[in-house]
């Protein structure tokens, strides 16, 4: 009995200490960010998203957070988001500077808790402090040695995430053979079509479209600024024709095909490119070269 009492007391003490540490960390808050002068004023605020994908163990990602915390000011007309692995969201929410939002790379097609083994719900992401989620990334549409996510499912997940209070970077884009056949916009339109019926006009204010030519992701290949602008312009026209001109004018369209510091300035200078969804470069200090690549 005495042993059981001692073990119980120790457990209670450890639990209390853990809660106290958590309360102390919460009261301390995230490090303060630093706003810099705005870039050139346009029709829309810029949106630079980072997608860490399945990269980094805990200590490596802590170091990345430290690098970004010390990277200097962010132009005041740029919104910045990092979408990190699920396991590291809480760490990033505690340690990352407060002028960079935190998001996830996917969320489920259900709106409440239940028997969804291995899944994470948008309501859970919202509850822990995420503000954004990526939906429909080409890697998930393609699948990982299993069937990928069809267009209708991506649209459903987007609507659920928006209804749960998250903002969404909704990905579309064509493969290399589709680009070569000249059907880029046909592919993008098919990916956007179910979104048109899933979202209300008000919902569109909570999403961005991330155009990611699949052939340029992680390959080092990049669409020329002129190629990217042409597709972005066509996507905006599709939204104008199929949703509304007001939504088309307001919605942000990011470029997501191997954007990095070396090419960001030329891409972001295009009138219909409102930011980027950055993969490899978001794992390095070069991410801030992208952020500061907006027109000045």
Query: Which tokens is 249 given?
Result: 């004018």
212 is a catalytic site residue: yes
Q: Alpha helix (H) ranges present in the chain?
A: 2-28, 58-69, 89-95, 122-128, 138-142, 151-163, 176-181, 184-198, 225-242, 245-250, 261-268, 286-291
Q: Residues with Cβ < 8 Å from 2, sequence gap 6 or more?
A: none
Half-sphere exposure of 255 (CA within 13 A, CB side): 32
Q: One of 123, 149, 212, 232 is an active-site residue; which one?
A: 212
DSSP state of 191: H
Query: Which tokens is 254 given?
Result: 């990011």
Residue 277's alpha-carbon distances to 14, 42, 170, 183, 240, in angstroms, are 42, 19, 10, 23, 23
Q: Residues with Cβ < 8 Å from 247, sequence gap 6 or more?
A: 201, 204, 239, 240
137 is a catalytic site residue: yes
Give the whole-angstrom CA distance, residue 63 versus residue 92. 11
* First and final C-alpha spacing in the chain: 72
At 277 the three-state DSSP class reads strand
Q: One of 123, 137, 149, 174 is an active-site residue; which one?
A: 137
Compute the 3-state secondary structure of the chain and give helix, strand, coil in percent, each to the nearest 5: 50, 15, 35
Q: Hey, which residues are catalytic here? A: 137, 212
């Amino acid at each position: 009995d005495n042993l059981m009492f001692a073990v119980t007391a120790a457990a209670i003490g450890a639990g209390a200490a853990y809660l106290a540490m958590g309360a102390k960390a919460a009261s301390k808050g995230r490090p303060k960010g630093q706003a810099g002068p705005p870039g050139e004023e346009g029709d829309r605020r810029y949106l630079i998203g980072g997608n860490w994908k399945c990269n980094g163990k805990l200590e490596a990602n802590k170091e990345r957070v430290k690098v970004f915390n010390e990277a200097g000011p962010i132009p005041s007309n740029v919104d910045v988001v990092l979408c990190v692995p699920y396991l590291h969201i809480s760490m990033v929410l505690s340690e990352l500077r407060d002028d960079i939002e935190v998001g996830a790379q996917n969320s489920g097609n259900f709106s409440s808790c239940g028997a969804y083994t291995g899944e994470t719900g948008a309501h859970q992401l919202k509850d822990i402090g995420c503000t954004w989620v990526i939906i429909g990334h080409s890697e998930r549409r393609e699948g990982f040695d299993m069937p990928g996510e069809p267009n209708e499912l991506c649209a459903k997940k987007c609507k659920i995430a928006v209804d749960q209070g998250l903002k969404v970077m909704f990905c579309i884009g064509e493969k290399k053979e589709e680009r070569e056949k000249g059907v880029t916009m046909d592919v993008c339109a098919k990916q956007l079509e179910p979104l048109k019926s899933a979202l209300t006009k008000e919902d569109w204010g909570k999403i961005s479209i991330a155009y990611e030519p699949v052939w340029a992701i992680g390959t080092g290949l990049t669409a020329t600024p002129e190629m990217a602008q042409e597709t972005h312009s066509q996507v905006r026209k599709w939204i104008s024709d199929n949703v509304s001109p007001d939504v088309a004018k307001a919605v942000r369209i990011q470029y997501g095909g191997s954007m990095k510091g070396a090419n960001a300035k030329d891409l972001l200078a295009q009138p219909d490119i409102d930011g980027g969804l950055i993969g490899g470069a978001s794992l390095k200090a070069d991410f801030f070269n992208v952020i500061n690549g907006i027109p000045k």
